[in-house]
Structures are given as C-alpha cells and as structure tokens.
A and B are shown apart, each in its own frame.
Chain A
C-alpha cells in the first residue's frame, strides 16, 4: 500500500510532487493509503485468529500437555524477545514522529534501530529453534521424545506433546516470517529516507510499515504469555 506515492507524475501540472495522477489531493492519497493499511491489518487479525483458535482448542483438549511441555521452552529468552520487540515498537513510533517533525536523522536512525532490534529478535529465535532441533522437540511426526530424553530433557509429557510443539513452531514461525517481511520493508524504507522521499506531508508509506510492525509486536504480546508462561 502507498506505493502510488513513489511516482510523481509529470502529467498533473499543478499537482504536488508526490501526488499520483488518479488522486485529487495529498489528503485523499494519504488517507486512502492508511485506510488500505488498516483493512489489511484487519485481515492480519483474522489470519492469526485461526492460529490462536487452534491453540485454545488444543489447550482445552490437552491441558496437562501444555502445562508440562511449556517447561521445555525458555521463558527468559521469551521475555528477552518481548523486550526487543517492545523497544522496536518504540523506535518505530519515534521514526514516524521523526517524519511528522520533518527530521531526516530521526527517521533514519530510528528505522536502523528497529531493524537491529528485529534482527536481535530473530537471532534469539534462531537460538531457541536450534536447541529444539537439537533435542528433537519438533512438530508432529518429527517429535522425538527418546532423543530429547537422551539429551537430558524431560520430554516424557502426557497427552500429545507433538501437538504442542507443532503449535509452538507454527505460531512462532508464522510470526517470525512476519518479522522478516517487516525487516525487508524497512530496508526499503532506509533507501527511500536517504533519497529524501518522506516529509511531514508525505510519509504514509513509512506510517503504514509502522502500523504493520506494531501489529507484529501486538501478536507477540499475546504469544509470549500463551506459549512461555502457561500455568
């Protein structure tokens, strides 16, 4: 969304620089971009709703499994990641504010910080995943309790531990994919900020990436207690 702002047409003689030919005013163009983004976020909410519902029902079916299996996840790493994402949300919000006050460096460095924090999140995620792979705590058919026990992990879990780890990997994996997409979008933002594309009048693209990033953060806010802090 908002990519229409990238080509300022020569056709509209009295049009502002970033106004696409089919819009009448910047106000119309900006609010269209943002409305589109909010609709897309509504779509994201429904997309993740399927995963959360899967979690709720599986937990209803196998409460003991969830209670026991979550012990195998490291809540400290989860908490660290929560802090990374919350901070990245802050820097993202500050980047948008930078655009509002026409500050090039504020935009640039806050986006850089956001990318770094997103990267840190992915590194921690990678560490967690590689432990799980090493211990055979994998989804479905790939779940290997014997291997885990051999590595000293108490994987003798009642019920359906394979289902728990499937849910863990699917939910965090889908979320991680969103983080990666967000980081890709932000790299593109950096190029455009350097090019001087954004200012207080024209920054709906930046704002939309920001909205997307916050919704990714939002999903993690729920994932963290649901997966790591089951009691």
Chain B
C-alpha cells in the first residue's frame, strides 16, 4: 500500500547494496568533521544533544524547586526555619529553571533541532539555503548558553526569567551576564529564522507547491516569521536593561525618571510572540503524527496552514495581557483582553481539525501517537485556562498565582515538550536508523501524562486558593496540594528518565529501522534511514500532497459505519 507517490530517483547501486552506502553519520569521521560540518542533519543532531542536555539541567532545577516546596517551613518561632534551601537560593533556582527552559530548551527545541534536520528533507533540498550561517547560529547558541550558565558561577540571577525592572536593574546578582547570554541566544534564533524562511521559499523540490507542503513546514514558516520580527526587540530590550543597570540611564527605572511598565511592554512584545515560537512547531509536529497514524487525509489542510500564520500575526497583538495588574492603562488592558480571545480562534481550528482527522481514521496507537494524544488533552486544558487569564476581571484574582504557573506549564510543558518528545519517537528511526522500544515508549508516556497532571492540576487548585508564585514558603493550608504536586513532579521526572534509558538502549542495540516505518508520504520518508549525506539521489519530484493516503477500507472496521 505504500506506493511510491513521489518521483524520487533511486540509485541502482544503493538498492542492490542495501544500505552499504555511507549515511550522514559515518560519511566523515572524527570530532573535527562534526565541529566544522555544514550538514543540516548533523547540526540538527548537535542542537538536539544541546537541547536535551539543557533539558536535563533545567529539569534538575525544577525538581529541586519542587523538593523545596515539599518541606514544612512555615514561619516558626524564630522565623528562620529553613528546609533545604534559603529563600535566596530558591529564587535563583526558579530563575535558572525558567531561563534555561525558555531560552535554551523550548525555543530552540523543535525549530533548531528537528526543524534543521527535517525541513530540507521535507522540501527535497540538499541543504538549507545558508549552510554556513546555520553552523554559525549553532555556535552562537553554544556561546549564549555558556554566558547564561556562566552567570551561575558569578552569583546567579534571582529576577525570574522575565528580568523585570526595577528589581533587575538594582539586584546585586549577575544580571548582566545572564542578559548577555539571552541576547546572544536571540541572534541564533534570528539567523535560524532567516535561514528557514529562505529555504522554504527557494529550495522546494519541483512540484512541491505551497499547498503540498507538509504542515510541519508551514508551522516552521510561521515560527520563523516570529523569530525574525520579534527577537530583535528582545535584543534591544535586554541591551537597554544592561545599560540601565550599568549607567542608570533612566528609561526603565522610575527613580531615575523612567517607566518600569515600559520594560514590560518591550519585554512582552517579544516574549508573547515567543510563546508562539514555542508552540507553533509543536502544532506542526502534531499535524504530522496524527495524520500519518490515522492513515487519512488531514481534515482542513488549508485551515491548519493558514491558522499557523494567523496565530503568528495575532500573537503580536496580545502582549499586554501579561500586564493587567502592572499599572497599564485600563483602555489598553481592555483592548488587549479582547484581542487575546481572538488568538483562541485559530488555535481551536487546529484542535478541531486534529480531532476530525482522527475521526473515522484507522488509528495506529504507537508511542508517538500516545504522546500526540497526551498533547491534545494537556494543550486543550492549557489553552482553555488561558482564556480565564485573558479575562480582565478574573485575571486580577489569578494574576501571579500558581494558576498562571499551571497554565503555562500545561501549554509549554504539556504542549510543546510533549509534542517534542512525541516527535522524537516519530522521527527517531529516520534520524538514527534504529527503532525505539514501543512498549517502554508507552510506559514512559503513561508516567509523563499522569505525573504531569498530578503536578500541575494541583497547582490550578493552589492558584485559585491564592497561593502566589515564586515563593520559597507558604501557609500551612497549602501544604497538602504542594506535596501532591511534588510527588507528581517525581513521576514526571521518572517518565523522562525511562525515555532516556530506552533511547540509549536503542542507539546501542535497537532494531534496524526501515526506510519508512510509519508509511508517511512526505519526502523525508523516501530517503534512507539514516539519510545519506546529500539527502537524495538526484532531485526528487513531487506529484502528490503529503497526506493523500489510500482510501481506508471501511468494511473491515466497525468504526466507519456512518
């Protein structure tokens, strides 16, 4: 049934020799060949290693934060009872958790690692448009990471990942180093975005029209648009913050004649669209996984593609909803609140389309699909609670409570990271040439899903009861929920740890992966697993859409009775 829809020239020698041809991993040997590679696949893999390392680091910070909140440290008679960490250390821990996870993990996770690897493959191109620029942005990423981590050794940061003034311009911790790190990481993000947009415009295979692009490509396109247009504003904001700190220029500090709310405008003009940099690629991944595993043409291709672009644009109009209680004017708050609801529309279009795609499909529940289902569930909760927070009056009550914490973890962690891990399961065979263990994949997904909900659903309850975020201590009545949440976080950690184990196992002695284990129709499945150095033999030509699966035989299924 996997007829070769697309016209990919097959070299006779590769077909007969059966994979004897060198692939991108063993085509060149030695560490130097990796350090200087301009191959998008190797760079994607290097990004992946970087992202996963930082994910582990950020995860350890998270577990330390949760462990602190396990303990009874209510204000004792002395008022100085401490469990595990002092308040100062706790502040640094959650700041590092946030900064590492946002800037080093989630933003580059899907675009830089999987995007780099699969975008040119899906387009039938030999490489991205600017391979050397690609290598450069990888090194810029590493440099930014070094700066950010360097700040840990020079006193760390305790401002929260948002670096709000005037605290960030006056605290004694090493804000400048951390801010420099984020500034540099921004350039990596911009260069990747420029590279991807040009690649999508200019490097498509013959016949690969815009409406035949896999939806992952569309999602990457929208993401890159935001990366190019929003990230420079973050750069300028952080530059001004560093200057404010060193020279007291009086732009963001009210004491010197500035306006701290201005910093929040500058910061969120980037950082709200950045939320969509994080989630849009996840949408793309889910479109791929669900459609391939439903064996059915995707429902509403154009609607999903266009809603990605719509989200990218509307995402720029809503940043003020982070500032409802900051002293922003009432008019601005009302306008931003209204516009925030508008974002829900394209997002809901996507969710409905995915569900409709599965309806009547012939579902294959592999571990990637398990993760995709977890995504649908968690992201829907995250999205809907976002509406509560976008409502002006409700937000006054919920602002800066654990409700907010739970909301964005449902979106960022339950949404993006779940999709990212799902995507790893989906494309692992293509990237490494090995299959993952399906059984343990489902076990890990179970632990992640249950652990995640236990961790963060309890935080919704904490938030509505008034537990403020970013505190090392709490009132006794919050203890039960905090402890439940902490236990959940351990389950979640265990889930990811299992994933790590069987991924390593797969690399060592995993079953050899076929060319196209899931029967996908987009071009990345038509090259070897792992792909050869120049991706394809000759220039592939595309004759079909990416999701034109053969008709399902409904007579054998009792589901298709409609």
Touch test A–B (CB under 8 Å)? yes
A contact residues vs B (CB 8 Å cutoff): 1, 3-4, 21-22, 24, 28, 31-32, 35-36, 39-40, 42-44, 46-51, 53-54, 57-58, 61-62, 139-142, 159-160, 162-163, 166-167, 170
B364 close to A (CB within 8 Å):
no
Do residues A166 and B194 form an inter-chain contact, with CB atoms below 8 A?
no
B201 close to A (CB within 8 Å):
yes
Mark B70-86 against chain A: 1 for CB-CB distance below 8 A, else 0. 00000000000000000
Do residues A47 and B232 form an inter-chain contact, with CB atoms below 8 A?
yes
Tell whether A35 pairs with B202 under 8 Å between CB atoms, given A42-B229, A46-B230, A47-B236: yes
The interface residues of chain B, by DSSP majority, are classed as helix
CB neighbors of A among B180-223 (8 A) = 190, 193-195, 197-198, 201-203
The answer for the CA separation of A58 and B198 in the assembled complex, in Å, is: 37
B59 close to A (CB within 8 Å):
no
State the Cβ distance, A192 to closest chain B Cβ, in Å: 16
The answer for the CA separation of A4 and B136 in the assembled complex, in Å, is: 13
Query: A58 is contacted by which of B243, B244, B251 (Cβ under 8 Å)?
Result: B251
The answer for the CA separation of A142 and B250 in the assembled complex, in Å, is: 12
Do residues B125 and A35 form an inter-chain contact, with CB atoms below 8 A?
no
Chain B residues with CB below 8 A from A49, complex form: 232-233, 236
The answer for the CA separation of A170 and B198 in the assembled complex, in Å, is: 32
Q: Mind listing 25 A-B residue pairs with CB under 8 Å?
A: A1-B130, A4-B131, A4-B132, A22-B127, A22-B131, A22-B203, A32-B203, A39-B194, A39-B198, A42-B229, A43-B232, A47-B236, A49-B232, A50-B237, A57-B262, A61-B257, A139-B249, A140-B249, A140-B256, A160-B257, A162-B249, A166-B243, A166-B247, A166-B250, A167-B251
The answer for the CA separation of A36 and B231 in the assembled complex, in Å, is: 16
The answer for the CA separation of A27 and B300 in the assembled complex, in Å, is: 35
Known A31-B202, A39-B198, A142-B247; further 5 A-B contacts with Cβ < 8 A: A24-B539, A32-B202, A36-B194, A140-B243, A162-B248
The answer for the CA separation of A35 and B236 in the assembled complex, in Å, is: 24
State the Cβ distance, B396 to closest chain A Cβ, in Å: 26
The interface residues of chain A, by DSSP majority, are classed as helix
Chain A residues with CB below 8 A from B142, complex form: none
Tell whether A35 pairs with B201 under 8 Å between CB atoms, given A50-B240, A140-B248, A166-B250: yes
The answer for the CA separation of A62 and B258 in the assembled complex, in Å, is: 10
B548 close to A (CB within 8 Å):
no
Chain A residues with CB below 8 A from B232, complex form: 43-44, 46-47, 49-50
The answer for the CA separation of A1 and B240 in the assembled complex, in Å, is: 27
Do residues B195 and A36 form an inter-chain contact, with CB atoms below 8 A?
yes
Chain B residues with CB below 8 A from A159, complex form: 257
Count chain B CB atoms within 10 A of each CB in A58, A140, A159, A162 and give the residue with the most: A140
Count chain B CB atoms within 10 A of each CB in A50, A51, A61, A170 and give the residue with the most: A50
The answer for the CA separation of A166 and B244 in the assembled complex, in Å, is: 9
Do residues A4 and B130 form an inter-chain contact, with CB atoms below 8 A?
yes
Do residues A46 and B125 form an inter-chain contact, with CB atoms below 8 A?
no
B235 close to A (CB within 8 Å):
yes
Chain B residues with CB below 8 A from A40, complex form: 194
Do residues A39 and B233 form an inter-chain contact, with CB atoms below 8 A?
no
Closest to A47 in B: B232
Chain A residues with CB below 8 A from B467, complex form: none
Do residues B247 and A50 form an inter-chain contact, with CB atoms below 8 A?
no
CB neighbors of A among B70-110 (8 A) = none
The answer for the CA separation of A3 and B197 in the assembled complex, in Å, is: 17
B400 close to A (CB within 8 Å):
no
B228 close to A (CB within 8 Å):
yes
Do residues A170 and B132 form an inter-chain contact, with CB atoms below 8 A?
no
Question: Residues of B within 8 Å of A, CB-based: how many?
Answer: 41
Closest to A138 in B: B247
The answer for the CA separation of A160 and B125 in the assembled complex, in Å, is: 56
Closest to A160 in B: B257
CB neighbors of A among B501-545 (8 A) = 539
Do residues A57 and B259 form an inter-chain contact, with CB atoms below 8 A?
yes
B397 close to A (CB within 8 Å):
no
Chain B residues with CB below 8 A from A54, complex form: 240, 251, 262
Tell whether A28 pairs with B257 under 8 Å between CB atoms, given A43-B229, A46-B229: no
Closest to A48 in B: B236
The answer for the CA separation of A43 and B243 in the assembled complex, in Å, is: 21
Chain B residues with CB below 8 A from A61, complex form: 257, 259
Do residues A36 and B130 form an inter-chain contact, with CB atoms below 8 A?
yes
B406 close to A (CB within 8 Å):
no
Mark B124-164 against chain A: 1 for CB-CB distance below 8 A, else 0. 01110111110000000000000000000000000000000
Chain B residues with CB below 8 A from A141, complex form: 247-248
The 5 closest A-B pairs by CB, nearest first: A50-B236, A166-B249, A47-B232, A140-B247, A160-B257
Do residues A39 and B197 form an inter-chain contact, with CB atoms below 8 A?
yes
Do residues B194 and A46 form an inter-chain contact, with CB atoms below 8 A?
no
Closest to B125 in A: A22
B266 close to A (CB within 8 Å):
yes
Query: A32 is contacted by which of B198, B249, B539 (Cβ under 8 Å)?
Result: B198
Closest to B206 in A: A24
Tell whether A170 pairs with B249 under 8 Å between CB atoms, given A39-B198, A39-B228, A162-B256: yes
Chain A residues with CB below 8 A from B129, complex form: 22, 32, 36
State the Cβ distance, B382 to closest chain A Cβ, in Å: 28
The answer for the CA separation of A62 and B266 in the assembled complex, in Å, is: 20
Tell whether A1 pairs with B247 under 8 Å between CB atoms, given A21-B126, A46-B233, A51-B236: no
Do residues A170 and B130 form an inter-chain contact, with CB atoms below 8 A?
no
Do residues A1 and B133 form an inter-chain contact, with CB atoms below 8 A?
yes
Chain A residues with CB below 8 A from B132, complex form: 3-4
Closest to B126 in A: A22
Chain A residues with CB below 8 A from B236, complex form: 47-51
Do residues B130 and A163 form an inter-chain contact, with CB atoms below 8 A?
no
Query: B228 is contacted by which of A31, A43, A48 (Cβ under 8 Å)?
Result: A43
State the Cβ distance, A147 to closest chain B Cβ, in Å: 16
Tell whether A163 pairs with B258 under 8 Å between CB atoms, given A36-B194, A43-B229, A140-B248: yes
State the Cβ distance, A59 to closest chain B Cβ, in Å: 12
Do residues B262 and A163 form an inter-chain contact, with CB atoms below 8 A?
no
Chain A residues with CB below 8 A from B202, complex form: 28, 31-32, 35
The answer for the CA separation of A57 and B190 in the assembled complex, in Å, is: 27
Closest to A163 in B: B250
Do residues B257 and A47 form an inter-chain contact, with CB atoms below 8 A?
no
State the Cβ distance, B535 to closest chain A Cβ, in Å: 9
Closest to A39 in B: B194
Do residues A166 and B251 form an inter-chain contact, with CB atoms below 8 A?
yes
Chain A residues with CB below 8 A from B190, complex form: 43
Chain B residues with CB below 8 A from A160, complex form: 250, 256-257
Chain A residues with CB below 8 A from B251, complex form: 54, 58, 163, 166-167
The answer for the CA separation of A141 and B244 in the assembled complex, in Å, is: 10
The answer for the CA separation of A12 and B133 in the assembled complex, in Å, is: 21
The answer for the CA separation of A39 and B131 in the assembled complex, in Å, is: 17
